[in-house]
Amino acid sequence: MRATDFEYRHQTLLRMLVVGLALLTYVIEPDDIVWAAVRNHTTYRALLERLVFGTGAFLIVSSALFQTWASAYAGLDAASESQVLACDGPYRYVQHPLYLGRIFFALGIGLLAPALGTVILLTGEIVLILRLLGRDYVGSTAGVLRPYREQVPRFLPSLRPRFPARGFAGHWREALRKEASKWGLAVTMIVFTLTLQDRIAEILASVSVLIWFVLNMPDFMRSRGSKKQP
């Protein structure tokens, strides 16, 4: 199971399609998975909602931290495998911090969808990641990749670095720009946990996605321009 070139180049688009499909299940199930679970608890209903959505907020904040840190450094998730010697930052602790962050994000956002939508979101994300891993691991047991693969855990981060530091400075401004939507949605989830107001969450989420799109529009334009060149 190996990702195609299209899947590799358009990961963001495919993830947005999965999220959109998950949210469309509101047409079938009008209640999100959390409300469906706590609506019959009259005494502690608000408290239970805040506890569960607070967990979701923690997962989304963790996702934003992992993915911003990972995006700031070169690594196997963000670049070709020939750049393994430039791995630094989180890639010294875990091979795929971006993928780990994506799982956290799917778990957190899944709490806002109906039960069927949550299943679609998690299943879709896992399938996309497995296909990308199939591509990443082609020829990964030879050359410079072999010691890296042997020393650094795949998904469960080590408590100490397992690969020598390369001394590269992180590209934090670019990383924050790329992950702006994650931070916006993290703020959205925190505010929603405190207020439990759907309308406020919808407005904040929409603004987060809009800001992310505006910040990253130059990259999309450059990408389209490069494809038109002979």
Nearest to 198 by CA among 81, 11, 26: 26
pLDDT of residue 229: 43
pLDDT of residue 101: 92
The pLDDT mean for the chain works out to: 82
Rounded CA-CA distance 119/106 in Å is: 10
Its pTM stands at: 0.83
pLDDT of residue 103: 93
pLDDT digits (tens, 9 = 90+) for 19-35: 889 989 999 988 889 98
Q: What is the DSSP letter of 120?
A: H
Q: What are phi and psi of 221, to 5 degrees?
A: -65, -40
Rounded CA-CA distance 21/18 in Å is: 5
pLDDT of residue 223: 54
User: What sign results for the dihedral spanned by CA atoms 63, 64, 69, 73?
Assistant: positive
pLDDT of residue 128: 92
Domain boundaries, the chain: 5-170
What is the mean pLDDT, run by run of 10 residues, along the chain of 230 residues? Answer: 79 87 90 86 85 94 92 61 64 88 93 92 93 70 68 87 80 89 92 90 86 73 49
Q: Within 13 A of 97's CA, how many CA atoms are on the CB side?
A: 26
> What is the percentage of the chain residues whose pLDDT exceeds 70?
84
Cβ–Cβ < 8 Å for 122, 110: yes
Q: Is 89 left (phi over 0), alpha (psi -120 to 50) or beta?
A: left
Rounded CA-CA distance 117/110 in Å is: 7
pLDDT of residue 192: 92
